[in-house]
Amino acid sequence: MDYQAFLEFLRERERRAMPDLIIFGKGILLVLSILFCLAILLMTYRGFVYGQVKEALASLVSLIVGAIMVRAIYVKSRVLQIGELAITNTVISEGANGTAVFEGTYEYVHDGAYAYVLEGTPQRVAVKRLDKRVHNDSGVYKKIKNLRRANGHPNIAQLFGVKNDPDYLYVCLEHCICNIGDLVRMFSPHNLGDANDNARMDEARNSLQGIQLWEQANNGDHRRPSPTLLRLMMEMAVGLDYLCQSKRMVHRNLKPENILISNEPSLRIKLSDMGLSNKRLPAGHRVGLGPGWQPKEVILGNKRLTRAVDSFGLGCVYFFCITAGRHPFGGDDLERRQNIENGNQANLMLLANLPEANELISRMLSHIPKRRPTAEEVLIHPLFWDEDTRLSFLCDTSDKLTARDLNGQLLNPQLIIAVNGTSGTVLPPDTFPDGEWIHALNPQLQPWGNGYTLNSVKELVRLIRNKYVHYSEHRDNIKLILGSLEVNPTAYYNYFGTRFPNLLIQVYKVMKQHCRHEEVFARYFRSVRNI
């Protein structure tokens, strides 16, 4: 070993030993401070016992000062300072190979390739610690560049900066209050074995009081996702669409732990941990993800990985959210992996009363990647339509089905046949033995069925459209049944939607096949990206 190499060896040993020496010195100082406080406490006690009040009060002041010193030393001993980064020993989460996430603060002071502007203000951050012995420096910096490339979107966790010491690399990320898995478990009615009952979760519970993730359906026999949960689910797809369309990236590691929840200034989804995200991968490339959240092609390692990987993971997360913590492929990691690897179909029985969710998630969980919808397609699915959009769609569909030429002939007979062909699902025999939809309506509405073919889905859609268009002409008792359009605009759609829960999705599938390119239906089948 030459002289220069020997000096470098000594410097490296010194750098590695310095943190231990600092901790040891702080420990000695802490012990001495505690002994000092005990001595002062004894002097204070003796002063009061022997009537030396002034001396006792002076000792009491010294005791308070000493206690403050002990507290300061104790707190300081729990913080690792690396330049602008301060890392506490509060663990947010732990992973394999020495990876862990800690609470910390970061103060931006200069620009650089791996920094995000914070204008000199200390920012609360989550610090991901990577062991340099495990993570190759060149490889990990490429992954950090991917994180940096994804910065700037409200549904992506921001990268603030990167620091390192001889042993570890510290990646400073936007701090979030919890992840979607924590959020679902907090509010789930099921006994999910809450293993995250700690101070951090207490803080999250206090901040998230009043949040409602599920609500009772109008017919009262099941629970459905609340508008808040549906919005969060949409934001997951918005973040993925941004990664794919704007950055040409595939996340590849979607699972509840990597979908974070921020409440500043309002509740919002933040996709994180794109450390495994690269540009689309070459054929045969294999990565290891969390059990049960990755598709068959990843497990087998014999397919080119595309954005369809993320669609599968998102479908699993959607099912997890809607069912308050369940998984579509089984209860434990081994069962899930085996079901996916063997190509078994997901168990979607828990979505039987939610036909829009069932239709979307069943396609997202297809074992054939090309059949899975893109994030863009997910965002325009009827699962996320409000009642006004649903009603407008049915009205536009009715106009299409009833259109006639100058001779009075129906313009779209084949489309009518296709819509009426859904009657077995829209009007199931166990609910409608004679196949006539009028029996689901209030008696006061039944006379209005005159002139309608009562076993026709096309006629049911026409009835819904006509009652809406001519709402102002109805008697007050009819308006009371259908709901007030002025007071509660959603009530009208819900009256029919709860009685015919499969109507919307079945008609949607037919119209998508036949009319998705028509201008009238553009807003239902084409994305208007605004992210």
Q: For residues 436 and 457, is the Cβ–Cβ distance under 8 A?
A: no
Q: Looking at domain 81-175, does it have CATH number 3.30.565.10?
A: no
pLDDT band of residue 12 (cuts 50, 70, 90) is very low
Orientation angle between helical segments 355-364 and 308-322, nearest 10 degrees: 150
C-alpha atoms less than 13 angstroms from C-alpha of 238 in its C-beta half-sphere? 18
The pLDDT, as a whole number, for residue 20 is 46
**Strand 100-106 to strand 249-250: parallel, antiparallel, or no bridges (unpaired)?**
unpaired
Tokens (6 digits) for 217: 């359906």
Q: What is the pLDDT of residues 425-482, one digit of tens each?
A: 999 999 999 999 999 999 888 766 568 999 999 999 999 999 999 999 999 999 999 9
Within a 10 A sphere around the Cβ of 305, how many other Cβ atoms?
24
Provide the residue count of the chain. 531
CA dist 507 and 513 (Å) reads: 10
Tokens (6 digits) for 289: 């993800």
Tokens (6 digits) for 418: 């296709």
**In Å, how far are 65, 72, 73, 323, 502 from 31, measured between CA atoms?**
15, 13, 10, 52, 71
Q: If we measure between CA atoms, which residue out of 309, 307, 308 comes closest to residue 290? A: 309
**In Å, how far are 36, 39, 41, 229 from 49, measured between CA atoms?**
20, 15, 12, 64
- The distance in angstroms from the start CA to the end CA of the chain is 58
CA 441 to chain centre: 38
Reported for 28-33, long-range contacts at CB under 8 A and 24+ positions apart, including other chains, are 29/73, 30/70, 30/73, 30/74, 30/77, 33/66, 33/69, 33/70, 33/73
Three-state SS letters, 348-379: CHHHCCCHHHHHHHHHHCCCCHHHCCCHHHHH
Beta strands in 247-335 (DSSP E): 249-250, 259-262, 268-271, 278-279
Measured in degrees and rounded to the nearest 5, phi and psi for residue 90 equal -80, 115
The pLDDT, as a whole number, for residue 279 is 40
On the question of pLDDT at 22 being above 70, the answer is no
Tokens (6 digits) for 121: 């203000």
pLDDT band of residue 488 (cuts 50, 70, 90) is confident
Q: For residues 385 and 500, is the Cβ–Cβ distance under 8 A?
A: no
CA dist 3 and 246 (Å) reads: 52
Question: Residue range 188-210: average pLDDT?
Answer: 73
The pLDDT, as a whole number, for residue 99 is 84
pLDDT band of residue 491 (cuts 50, 70, 90) is very high
CA dist 14 and 26 (Å) reads: 18
Tokens (6 digits) for 429: 């025999």
Matching fold, domains 81-175 and 222-384: no
Tokens (6 digits) for 164: 């390192």
Burial of 307 (0-12, 13-18, 19+ CB in 10 A): buried
pLDDT band of residue 250 (cuts 50, 70, 90) is confident
Contacts of 225 (CB under 8 A, 6+ apart): 213, 214, 215, 233, 321, 322, 357
Please report, for the chain, the start and end positions of each structural domain, with discontinuous segments joined by +.
Answer: 17-77, 81-175, 222-384, 387-525
DSSP bridge partners of 81? 86
The pLDDT, as a whole number, for residue 195 is 47
Of the CATH numbers 1.20.950.20, 1.10.3470.10, 1.20.1440.180, 3.40.50.2000, which one belongs to the domain with range 387-525?
1.20.1440.180
The answer to which of 54-63, 226-235, 463-472 has the lowest mean pLDDT is 54-63
- Between CA 129 and CA 139, with CA 134 as vertex, the angle to 5 degrees is 85
Beta strands in 213-253 (DSSP E): 214-216, 223-225, 249-250
- Evaluated on CA atoms 50, 56, 57, 63, the torsion sign reads negative
pLDDT band of residue 145 (cuts 50, 70, 90) is confident
DSSP bridge partners of 249? 279
Q: What is the pLDDT of residues 62-107, one digit of tens each?
A: 656 666 655 554 444 457 888 888 999 888 888 777 788 999 998 8
pLDDT band of residue 141 (cuts 50, 70, 90) is confident
CA dist 7 and 129 (Å) reads: 28
The structure's pTM equals 0.81
The pLDDT, as a whole number, for residue 17 is 41
Is the omega angle on the peptide bond into residue 413 within 30 degrees of 0, that is, cis? Answer: no
Q: For residues 426 and 460, is the Cβ–Cβ distance under 8 A?
A: yes
- Which CATH code for domain 222-384? 1.10.510.10
Contacts of 9 (CB under 8 A, 6+ apart): 1
